[in-house]
Amino acid sequence: MSEAAFQIPVGPQHPALKEAPENFTFTIDGEYVVDVKARIGYNHRGIEKAAEGRSYIQNLYLVERVCGICSIAHVSTYTQAVEEALNLEIPSRAKYIRTIIYELNRVASHYLWLGLAGHEIGFDTLFMYLWRDREIALNILEQITGNRVTYAAFAIGGVRRDISPQMVENAKSGLSVLAERMKYYKKLCLNEPTVLKRAVGVGVLKPQDAIALCAVGPTLRASGIKSDVRADDPYLVYDEVPFNVVTYDGCDVASRVLVRCDETLVSISIIKHALDHLPDGPIRVKAPRIVPPAEVVSRTEAPRGELIHYLRSNGTDKPERLKIRSPTLGNIPSICKSLIGGFVADIPIALASADPCFTCTDRMAFVNVSNGKRWVWTKEQLRRYSLKWYQQN
């Protein structure tokens, strides 16, 4: 099986007929991108509307599935919102356990992302290694919560399962391996010429653009902006656990890779600290079903960036309004901007560097102003074009 033939089976296959909408339309001139328009109707499911018809407890399971990769971020932000509306303080032990699960999910997410980024630039061996190692994080999560991907771990009022001393030991040894491996992958990225060629100076997002276009997460921090919800607007135990906000000044794909590598290491140290300092006590308090009228803005730092939930309650057991803004949406204007003036062949990795949700970026339309041609490619077709282009240039 050759490298070029390998495909990660996510995202739809094949543009079928002209009616299907494109998520991105690129106006290009020869090999350069001149303009980018986004339209992301692909995955609209009507979650916010559905949330109004479900109880707060039912919505726990709905919001967990906004995104499978950072599911816990949505649950965490949501439970925080409901608990604030209830004026309900959850036990310390629950906060620590939530932090541990949240950060473990970040580790798994960044590992997943790095593997996908490797795949985008044709480095499938890297993809395999990273996803193999990611299984260590998933094992820890499975031991703690019972599941690998979506956890059903939180309740309104705390967490549902406790962490035993044996789990603490297993987690710590697994985390040490993950840290060692991430240091190795980081060194690899910094020294491997193929990676550097595809990542340095690619997808440049200047700091003033990042701020004006309201970028979030690693995309923002890789342009040198020190902004992280855990530090600016602390929640759970982030005002107690020491950690650094990672920034890099390169403003390019390489910087976004480095930010995520370092963030993984920071997460591992946060988790270890939390495991060592788990307070005693209950893991859950009982929460009333009815939530008095309130308005809450709840924010957390998801793996991809600032996640915000706005909740309006109305004195019943169902929310009046739940608004969710995922970090990926927050980064689309910035990422579009970073593509302009760059090569068409850089689109896959530059898009990937914002860590968007899989299906979000599958179909791409192209309009070449120099010859008037229009066509649609799938992500896979564009990826192949990029690999070939970089082999020849």
> Which of 168, 200, 312, 389 contacts another protein by CB under 8 A?
312
Are the beta carbons of 120 and 8 closer than 8 angstroms? no
* Interface with another protein in residues 84-113 (CB under 8 A): 84, 87-89, 92, 95, 112
- 328-367 mask for another protein (x: CB under 8 A)? -xx-xxx----------------------xxx--------
Q: Report in angstroms how near the CB of residue 284 gets to another protein at its nearest.
A: 16
272-311 binders of another protein (CB under 8 A): 294-297, 299, 306, 308, 310
Among 76, 79, 80, 219, binds another protein (CB under 8 A): 80
Angle, helix 165-191 to helix 92-120, in steps of 10 degrees: 30
Q: Which C-beta is closer to another protein: that of 334 or that of 353?
A: 334
Q: Is the dihedral of CA 47, 49, 54, 57 positive or negative?
A: positive
Q: Phi-psi bin for 367: left (phi > 0), alpha (psi -120 to 50), beta?
A: beta
The distance of closest approach from Cβ of residue 120 to another protein in the complex, given in angstroms and rounded to an integer, is 14
Tokens representing residue 348 in the block = 């896959």
- Which of positions 219-258 make contact with another protein (CB under 8 A)? 227, 229, 232-240
Q: Which is nearer to another protein, 13 or 164 (CB)?
A: 13
Residue 5 phi/psi, 5-degree rounding, is -80, -10
Q: Give the footprint of another protein on residues 151-210 (CB under 8 A).
A: none
| Among residues 150, 170, 269, 368, the one that binds another protein under rule CB under 8 A | 150
Helical axes 92-120 vs 71-86, angle rounded to 10°:
150
Task: In angstroms, give the least distance from the CB of 30 to another protein.
Answer: 25
Say how many residues touch another protein, by CB under 8 A.
92
- Closest by CA position to 358, among listed 112, 25, 106, 45: 112
**Residue 57 interacts with another protein (CB under 8 A): yes or no:** no
CA 25 – CA 365 distance, rounded (Å): 4
- In 89-191 the beta strands, taken as DSSP E runs, fall at 154-155, 158-159
Q: What's the token pair of residue 13?
A: 């296959």
**N-to-C CA span, the chain:** 25
Binding mask 13-52 for another protein (x = CB under 8 A): xx-xx-xxx---------------xxxxxxxxxxxxxx--
CB of 368 to another protein, least distance (A): 21
Tell me if residue 246 falls in helix, strand or coil: coil
